[in-house]
Structure formats: C-alpha cells, structure tokens
Amino acid sequence: MKLGLFLKDRLYIIIIFIAFYVVNLLFLLASKVDLFLILFFSITLFSIIACVILIEYKRRKDFYDTLITNTEKLDKAYLVLETISYPNFYEGELLYNNLYEINKSMSENVGSLKKQVDDFKEYVEMWIHEVKIPIASLSLLLYNNKNLYDKKTMKIVSQIDNYVEQVLYYTRCENLEKDYLIKRTSLAKVLANVAIRNKDDLLENEIDLEIDDRGISVLSDSKWLEFILNQIVNNCIKYKDSNKESHIKIWVVDTKNKTNLFIEDNGIGIDDGDIDRVFDKAFTGVNGRKYSKSTGMGLFIVKNLITKLGHGIEIESKKGNYTRVTIAFYKNSFYDVVH
C-alpha cells in the first residue's frame, strides 16, 4: 500500500479541511485575534488531521500489505485467507467476510466437479475390468473355433485390449492417488511380457528383437512398467522403415546411481522440429499425420506415469536413422536400507 496513492484517494478530505481552515483563518484574522493564538490553533488542527490520516493509513496498510504479498507468494492463491489475521477495521471486515463466502462457494463448486471426475474415473476403471471379461471370452471363443481363429482376428482382439488399457492408464496417470506399488522388479520378466504381447506383430513385420537385460532388476511397478514399455515398442513397430531390415534393440546399462534402459529401433525417426514435443498431450507431429491412427496420447501417458514412478525418460532420434528411448531408474538408498 502506497502512502501517495492513499492520500490521493483521501484528497477530498484534505481539500475540505483546507477550505474550512482558510475560511476560519480569514475569520480569525478579520476578528484581529492574536497571531500567536492563530499559529497554535493552526498547528493543532494540522496535527490532528495528520494523525487521523496516518492512523487510518497504518491500520489499512498492515492488513492489505499482508494480503497482497501473501497472495503473490502462495502458489495456491485461494488459500490466502488462511494466512492473514482478521482485520480490525470495518471495511477490512467486510472484505474479509466476503472473500470467505466467495472462497467457500468456489470450493464447493470445485469439490462437486472433483467428485464428478472421481466418480467418472472410478466408473471407467470398473468398466475396463468389466469389458476385459468379454474380451477374454472372445479370444477363448475364437481360439476354440478353429474356423474363426487366425492371426488377423487375434490381432484385432489384442488391439482392442491395447486401446482399453490405454484408457485405464490415462485415468491412472491423471489421478492424484498412488495406485502403484514400487518393488524390486526383474526387467527380464517385464520385457518378456512386452515381447510376447507384440510377438505376432513383430514376426509379421519381420522386425528382429534383441533383448539384453543382463539379469538386472530395478525399483518399479511391474504392471505400469509393462504398459510403458509396451507403448514404446508399439511405436517402434508402427514407425518402422519398410526399406530396410528392421530391428529393435533393448539393452541395460547399470551405474552407481541409476540403471538406464535403452530401447532403440532403426525406424523412420522423428523430425527435429517434433522431438521436443512428442511427450505433449495429443501431439501427433509429422509422423502421426503421415501414418494416421495416432492419437498422440501414448507418449503423453508414458511421460506422466514415468514421472509418477520417479523415473526419467529421454528420447533422441535421427530422421531416417534411428529412435532411441532411454528410461532412467534412479537408485534409492532409502529403499535399500528399509529392505
């Protein structure tokens, strides 16, 4: 709160006061009152008005200054009322009470929206578990009926399953609650699951898969990790280069502070202009437009899950040459102490 602006706001008081003072001064002079008395009278008057204005200023300044600076400092500005004390002047009280009511109504509003979203997410999770049952029945029915069973129909079933799973992990990655469990996870096992899920696709596309996990295990949630690696491998398959013999190489490098998992393909690569945005929500880029069927959600969800798990992810690529994704599993000395 600035004194100058405060005085400007109170200018009418000062003007009225000065006008009143001049009239009185003229009256006193005309009445031939002793000059000393007039001086005393003037000083008293000016002191009183200055005191009144300064006290008024001080009471407001304390309240408004804390309000303003706290609002600036807080990253959740709507919590500011919790940080200031109840004002000791009338207008402040009015403001405080009103802000309180506004806040309350807004949090009720946000609360009811949050509940709606939570309910919806809960429903989606439940629905996904429900829909998996008929998908499972379908794949069994197809398998038992040799007339219907072939690679193509099974591929369609597994595509449905993949899309359903993506929705599940999307709701999970946006959730604030932790529904994962970090434990020592064998990379070999997770990679084997990913490989077998993509077996038909890889064989059909004649993509060689080389995995060298060196028997290393990391701290992670195996289900989440499987989803993440599956998305990345799906991309490797989707963006393969049909003009050369394709391969996907997966290997692990273990250092003191972290374990790096590399997934490299020799596919079409990513444009330099796109590479920084591949993790953005709904970003499809040049490749996504060219090869259609891209929602731009896969890597966005991957990035979110990785962040929640406390791992790191990086992607580098040379157009027409290779794409390499690196996942960093940081070692946690605390976990080792506990276990």
Choices 35-43, 209-217, 233-241, 331-339 (CB under 8 A): range interacting with another protein:
209-217
CB nearer to another protein: pick between 10 and 223:
223
Is 236 within 8 Å of 276 (Cβ atoms)? no
Q: How many Å apart are CA 109 and CA 106, to the nearest integer?
A: 5
Cβ 168 to another protein shortest distance, Å? 8
45 binds another protein (CB under 8 A): no
Pick one of 7, 102, 203, 286: the residue that binds another protein (CB under 8 A).
203
Pick one of 222, 230, 231, 317: the residue that binds another protein (CB under 8 A).
222
Give me the torsion for CA of 174, 286, 264, 282, rounded to 10°: 0
Pick one of 93, 122, 179, 254: the residue that binds another protein (CB under 8 A).
179
Cβ 78 to another protein shortest distance, Å? 34
Pick one of 218, 221, 246, 299: the residue that binds another protein (CB under 8 A).
221
Q: How many Å apart are CA 315 and CA 267, to the nearest integer?
A: 14
Q: DSSP per residue over 194-227, as a string?
A: HHHHTHHHHHHTTEEEEEE-TT-EEEE-HHHHHH
Pick one of 8, 183, 214, 290: the residue that binds another protein (CB under 8 A).
183
Cβ 293 to another protein shortest distance, Å? 21
CB nearer to another protein: pick between 114 and 199:
199
Choices 10-18, 22-30, 184-192, 266-274 (CB under 8 A): range interacting with another protein:
184-192
Q: How many Å apart are CA 191 and CA 92, to the nearest integer?
A: 63
Pick one of 101, 174, 208, 314: the residue that binds another protein (CB under 8 A).
208
Three-state DSSP class for 257? coil
Residues whose CB falls within 8 Å of the CB of residue 261, separated by 6 or more in sequence, listed in order: 187, 218, 250, 251, 252, 326, 327, 328, 329
Q: How many Å apart are CA 324 and CA 262, to the nearest integer?
A: 7
Q: How many Å apart are CA 298 and CA 170, to the nearest integer?
A: 9
The H or E element spanning position 259 is: strand 258-265
Is 233 within 8 Å of 194 (Cβ atoms)? yes
> What is the distance of C-alpha 311 from the center of its chain?
16
122 binds another protein (CB under 8 A): no
Using alpha carbons, select from 320, 228, 329, 302 the residue that is nearest to residue 266: 320
284 binds another protein (CB under 8 A): no
Question: How far separated are the first and last CA of the chain, in Å rounded?
Answer: 56
- What x/- string results for residues 128 through 157 when contact with another protein is judged by CB under 8 A? -xx-xxxxxxxxxx-xx------x--x--x
Q: How many Å apart are CA 194 and CA 198, to the nearest integer?
A: 6
Cβ 123 to another protein shortest distance, Å? 15
Choices 43-51, 185-193, 269-277, 292-300 (CB under 8 A): range interacting with another protein:
185-193
CB nearer to another protein: pick between 81 and 211:
211
Structure tokens at 47: 């002191």
# residues contacting another protein (CB under 8 A): 40
The H or E element spanning position 314 is: strand 312-318
CB nearer to another protein: pick between 63 and 224:
224
Q: Tell me the longest C-alpha to C-alpha distance in the chain.
A: 124
195 binds another protein (CB under 8 A): yes
210 binds another protein (CB under 8 A): yes
Cβ 247 to another protein shortest distance, Å? 10
Which residues contact another protein (rule: CB under 8 A)? Answer: 129-130, 132-141, 143-144, 151, 154, 157-158, 161, 179-181, 183, 188, 191-192, 195-196, 199, 202-203, 206, 208-211, 221-224
